[in-house]
Amino acid sequence: MKSTENRTLKFLNVKSLQKMLFSLLFLGNSAFAEQQFIDIGYTPGNSSLTESINFGVYGLHENKPMYMNFNIGLTPSDYIDSTSTYGTASDIKQVPLSINIGRTFSIVPDSAKMPIYKSIHSYLGIGYASLSGVAKYTSSGTDLGYYNYPSKDKSGLNLNGGLIFVFNTFGLNIGVNSFTKSAYLNIGMLVD
């Protein structure tokens, strides 16, 4: 039976997503109390990965230079959380998930008074990442939807890094994840 939802988050239920957001908002307020950069972004899918949502909180003050970010892959709209027992697999993709923590570094501080941007920061961290395989199945020309494809599942250590360009009213975050071999561009804001 096909899912009635347009989008589902594979291996991540609503309660665990709520816990992560709670951690970012409430634990983040004490960990990053002096100057925070909060961002969100969308990474389109490609031939090997599904599309994903990215978000994070970055402490930019030198006294609390910590960050935490997430990359959560979206399953295809016709995904069925099961392993297919018939049909032919095609369009094999992987659904990414990564959770990272690390340190931020000021490259160009606020005091530099640059005309175009307010400051530039870099970040480098480590985390956990996984790729969960899904494949589209067909039988006698009929599309059966996407099912789990366990032979493409893998997980491990992820290195994460990037640059944050802070302007007066917003900021841009350009980052990479080593495990998924993917880059992202997020937009965010500075919260004092």
| Span 30-48, pLDDT tens digits | 444 457 899 999 999 999 9
| Tens of pLDDT, residues 71-98 | 999 999 999 999 988 889 989 999 999 9
Backbone angles phi, psi at 159, to 5 degrees: -100, 135
Burial 122-154 (b: 16+ CB within 10 A, else e): ebebebebbbbbbbbbeeeeeebbbbbbeebee
Q: Which amino acid is at 118?
A: K
- At residue 23, the pLDDT reads 52
| Tens of pLDDT, residues 144-179 | 999 999 999 999 999 999 999 998 889 999 999 999
Count of Cβ atoms closer than 10 Å to residue 59 Cβ: 23
Whether 26 shows a pLDDT value over 50: the answer reads: no
Q: What is the CATH number of domain 14-191?
A: 2.40.160
User: Among 21-25, 44-48, 55-59, 178-182, which is the least confidently predicted range?
Assistant: 21-25
**Residue 31, SS3?**
helix
User: Among 34-38, 87-91, 121-125, 183-187, which is the least confidently predicted range?
Assistant: 34-38
Read off the pLDDT band of 128 (50, 70, 90): very high
Whether 27 shows a pLDDT value over 70: the answer reads: no
- At residue 155, the pLDDT reads 96
Q: Which two tokens stand for residue 97?
A: 């998930």
Whether 3 shows a pLDDT value over 90: the answer reads: no
Backbone angles phi, psi at 148, to 5 degrees: -60, 145
Q: Is the pTM of this model over 0.85?
A: no
Asked if 170 contacts 156 with a C-beta cutoff of 8 angstroms, the reply is no
Residues of the chain with pLDDT > 70, as a percent, come to 81
- At residue 35, the pLDDT reads 79
